[in-house]
Amino acid sequence: MQNNLEEVAPGKWRRYSGEGLNAAFNDFLQIGPADSRLLQTYHDALLQGGERFSKIFYAYLQGYPATAKVLDYYKAHGGKIEHLVAKQTQHLDQLLAGDTSEESAQRMAFIGEVHYRYRIEPVWIMGAYLLYLEHLQGLIRSSPAIRDNDRDPLDKAVVKLLFRDMGLMLEGYWDAAAKALHQEQDKVVTLQEQVTSLLANIPQLLWSVDTINNHPLYVSPSAREICQMDIDMPIPCLGWTIPEDRETVKLAWRKALMGHKVEVESRVQQPDGRLRWFRRIFYPLLDKTGRVVRIDGLMEDTTEAKAMIERLHALATTDSLSGLPNRTLFNDRLTQAIAAATRSDSRQVVLMLMDLNHFKEINDTLGHPAGDQMLVMVAQRLASALRDSDTLARLGGDEFGILLPDVTDAHRTVAKVAKKLLQCFVAPFRIGDNDLYLGAAIGVVVYPEHGEDVDTLMSRADIAMYGTKNKDVGYLFYDATLDPNAQARLQLAADLRQALARNELELHYQPKIDLQSGGIEGAEALIRWRHPQHGLIQPMDFLPIAERSGLITPITDWVIDTAVRQCMRWSEHGHRVRVAVNVPGRVFHDPGLVHRIAQMLKVADAPAECLEIEIIENVLMSDIEHVSRILDRISALGVHIAIDDFGTGYSSLAYLKKLPLKTLKIDKSFVMDMAHDENDAAIVRSTIDLAHNLGYRVIAEGIENAATHHMLAELGCDAAQGFHFSHPIPSEDFSRLLALA
């Protein structure tokens, strides 16, 4: 294609052009001064009836469907045939003037170009010239104004001039066509360059095979980078695919030959001996009869993606602290074990739930790192007490699950296994310099005796475990009489799982009063659960359940998001109210927390100052290193941080100095009675002084009366919150409060 194009391209061809062209025409057609003179002599005679001829000429063009179409188009776009007739007459006039100048040659060439643009075909042009010729020859033969001797030479001169005219016009036509062709060619070349560069840049190997002749039509330029070896055909790199995988690839190819799109993964040996995973995709192309004539293919290295999927799978099913299976995997295995046991009459499945006794105290007194260390040690001891075919999982917190998938005498087996498990807690756990003793409670259920599905078995094992704790024994089988309340508690946990989706949670807002101005400086968002049966539930009655069941993170996210949006709504009404939310310690161990806070602010288009995080003092102290790192990042966003319930923990103020805190919030247990209790009043006073010395703002919570209010104002406390000003109230009521202020 390209070669042909080049052949016709102007410049490649030795052609006359410009002046040379005109001279060549005059030369080849042997047009001399005599011809011009003759034409000038008979110019008027030959113009006789010129206009009539032009009209006939157009009538004639109207007679051909193809030319009529062009004229109709011309008329439809506002053109007038009379105008064309006049032009035509003028043309005849010029033609008969015998003008063979350069200028006239260029004019003709231009007319040719215009004809090309209007898609007037060469054959019509020639037909028109024939009409001219016939018309003029008729005149030459019959006009009395022409001398007989001149008729022959005049005829010849007219023929030559007409040839010249027509030739030059076709030259112009030809030139314009070649130019257009050349432009098209340029476009094709540019496109081709783009496609080539695109294909070279794509990290996949693309190829195309003619399946009729079995030969390659295309292999993309990046082939070498993908497959650093010979690309054998028709299936690239088949020879390097390891023998075990070759059959699958060939089978896929055969399927493609039958017209199916196929994807296949296999291992390919690299020249350096390494194995890498490759995916090949075959796309068959069928002709009209349904025969596969071509297969286009793609080949890509999926080693990294595969490894990533495996890592993700491992992450999704493993507890990162202990390395044990997590709840998800445990549930899967339990489901499988139940399915397997269902197929046989005699098989039973044993499920045990184990909870450590008083583990929380270790966390609170020695800190999270010590707690974590303890959990890892427990996991190791338990694992060594079990068989490989059993599953030991960490289900969350200090709760472990044990699955014995294939048992024939459950009660005897459990007696043995539970004893071994409890034995793990006889020796002390050494953490730092301490020897710590820990106990465990195990609840046991047996499929099919105590339930036939995962949910029932899990919840009954939970009830059995609580029974064990209450009765202070090592382990217990489930028994309906164990704890009638357990069922209600579990039900509440199940309801809570739905509460977010069903929109049952709400935030109430309690104002924080600036003690200097008396105005509202902020609000604390406090969560409530509007339960469809039990009515409004207070946070202390469901947040512990949320913590136990892993719902605390989504709930906290919801609280932050809702609070930030509420702050924006108030700000739109001209009220600057910073909203404080309570973030529990557990959530600080969620690696995505900071990112999500930033994201929520961004989505709500809210400034970070809208938000304050309240964190309970105990949480801080149990894991200061970790929590302070997270707090630094949150503070860097511009979010304020306050320490809540201050005074209830044992934090030294020197410690606190390292944290990016803005505010200390004195716990209500000191504030509520301070008007009557001197001790409390003294604590509050010294806390305010110390905090101010360290540069913190101080807010007191639990102000229930005017006396306390005045005392705090006198002590120089910065802000206050309590029933004396307002209870926590729904957002609409709070808005009304703001409007009044």
Regarding 496 and contact with ligand C2E (CB under 6 A), the answer is no
The C-alpha atoms of residue 707 and residue 680 are separated, in whole angstroms, by: 14
**Is 207:185 a contact under the CB 8 Å cutoff?**
no
Residues 6+ apart with CB under 8 A from 714: none
The C-alpha atoms of residue 509 and residue 513 are separated, in whole angstroms, by: 13
Regarding 521 and contact with Mg ion (CB under 5 A), the answer is no
Which residues are registered as beta bridge partners of 580?
524, 612
- Give the tokens for residue 599: 């994201």
Q: Which of residues 574-603 bind ligand C2E (CB under 6 A)?
A: 582, 584
Which residue from 422, 266, 291, 248 is spatially nearest to 352, judged by alpha carbons?
422
**Is 463:483 a contact under the CB 8 Å cutoff?**
yes
- The stretch among 15-23, 68-76, 440-448, 536-544 that binds ligand C2E (CB under 6 A) is 536-544
Q: Which of residues 323-342 bind ligand C2E (CB under 6 A)?
A: none
Smallest distance from ligand C2E to CB 600, Å: 14
For ligand C2E, give the closer residue by CB, 254 or 727: 727
Smallest distance from Mg ion to CB 345, Å: 57
Regarding 562 and contact with Mg ion (CB under 5 A), the answer is no
- The stretch among 281-289, 396-404, 491-499, 717-725 that binds ligand C2E (CB under 6 A) is 717-725
Q: Directed axis angle between helix 731-740 and helix 552-572, to 10°? A: 30
- Give the tokens for residue 688: 């305010």
- Give the tokens for residue 96: 């008969």
For ligand C2E, give the closer residue by CB, 567 or 672: 672
Which listed option, Mg ion, ligand C2E, none, makes contact with residue 112 (CB within 5 to 8 Å by class)? none
- H/E element, 399: strand 399-407
The C-alpha atoms of residue 15 and residue 120 are separated, in whole angstroms, by: 23
For ligand C2E, give the closer residue by CB, 381 or 548: 548
- The stretch among 75-83, 234-242, 450-458, 699-707 that binds ligand C2E (CB under 6 A) is 699-707
* Cα 414 to chain centroid, rounded: 49
- What's the burial of 542, exposed, middle or buried (CB within 10 Å: 0-12/13-18/19+)? buried
Which residue from 114, 132, 215, 220 is spatially nearest to 172, judged by alpha carbons?
114
For ligand C2E, give the closer residue by CB, 539 or 550: 539
Amino acid at 243: P
Q: Which of residues 510-529 bind ligand C2E (CB under 6 A)?
A: 510, 526-527
Smallest distance from Mg ion to CB 731, Å: 17
What is the DSSP-derived secondary structure letter of residue 688? H
**Candidate list 192, 498, 538, 679; residue touching ligand C2E; CB under 6 A:** 538
String of DSSP letters for 648-693: SS---HHHHTTS---EEEE-HHHHTTTTT-HHHHHHHHHHHHHHHH
Which listed option, ligand C2E, Mg ion, none, makes contact with residue 584 (CB within 5 to 8 Å by class)? ligand C2E
Regarding 644 and contact with ligand C2E (CB under 6 A), the answer is yes
User: Coil, strand or helix: which one is 110?
Assistant: helix
Binding mask 601-640 for ligand C2E (x = CB under 6 A): -------------x--------------------------
Regarding 668 and contact with ligand C2E (CB under 6 A), the answer is yes
**Is 251:258 a contact under the CB 8 Å cutoff?**
no
For ligand C2E, give the closer residue by CB, 458 or 499: 499
The C-alpha atoms of residue 271 and residue 275 are separated, in whole angstroms, by: 9
* Cα 668 to chain centroid, rounded: 47
Regarding 645 and contact with ligand C2E (CB under 6 A), the answer is yes
Alpha helix ranges (H) inside 573-592: none
**Is 682:655 a contact under the CB 8 Å cutoff?**
no
Regarding 539 and contact with ligand C2E (CB under 6 A), the answer is yes
Q: Which of residues 100-119 bind ligand C2E (CB under 6 A)?
A: none
Regarding 547 and contact with ligand C2E (CB under 6 A), the answer is no
How crowded is residue 365: how many other Cβ atoms within 10 Å of its Cβ? 12
The residue count for binding ligand C2E (CB under 6 A) is 24
β-pairing verdict for 729-730 and 505-514: antiparallel
For ligand C2E, give the closer residue by CB, 113 or 644: 644
Q: Which of residues 607-666 bind Mg ion (CB under 5 A)?
A: 614, 644-645
Residues 6+ apart with CB under 8 A from 486: 462, 463, 466, 467
- Output the 3-class SS for 600-653: HHHHHCCCHHHEEEEEEHHHHHHCHHHHHHHHHHHHHHCCEEEEEEECCCCCCH
Rounded CA Rg of the chain:
47
- The stretch among 86-94, 114-122, 194-202, 719-727 that binds ligand C2E (CB under 6 A) is 719-727
**Is 504:533 a contact under the CB 8 Å cutoff?**
no
**Candidate list 702, 712, 715, 718; residue touching ligand C2E; CB under 6 A:** 702
Q: Directed axis angle between helix 303-317 and helix 327-342, to 10°? A: 80
- Give the tokens for residue 12: 């490649």
Q: Which of residues 175-204 bind ligand C2E (CB under 6 A)?
A: none
Which listed option, Mg ion, ligand C2E, none, makes contact with residue 296 (CB within 5 to 8 Å by class)? none
Regarding 165 and contact with Mg ion (CB under 5 A), the answer is no
- The stretch among 28-36, 354-362, 633-641, 696-704 that binds ligand C2E (CB under 6 A) is 696-704
Regarding 718 and contact with Mg ion (CB under 5 A), the answer is no
Binding mask 564-593 for Mg ion (x = CB under 5 A): ------------------x-----------
Query: Which residue is nearest to Mg ion, using beta carbons?
Result: 614
Q: What is the dihedral of CA 645, 651, 655, 656, to 10 degrees?
A: 10
Regarding 379 and contact with ligand C2E (CB under 6 A), the answer is no
The residue count for binding Mg ion (CB under 5 A) is 4
Smallest distance from ligand C2E to CB 587, Å: 8
Which listed option, ligand C2E, Mg ion, none, makes contact with residue 526 (CB within 5 to 8 Å by class)? ligand C2E
**Candidate list 704, 713, 729, 733; residue touching ligand C2E; CB under 6 A:** 704
Regarding 721 and contact with Mg ion (CB under 5 A), the answer is no
**Candidate list 21, 136, 238, 559; residue touching ligand C2E; CB under 6 A:** 559
Residue ranges binding Mg ion (CB under 5 A): 582, 614, 644-645
Residue ranges binding ligand C2E (CB under 6 A): 510, 526-527, 538-540, 543, 556, 559, 582, 584, 614, 644-645, 668, 672, 701-704, 721-723, 728
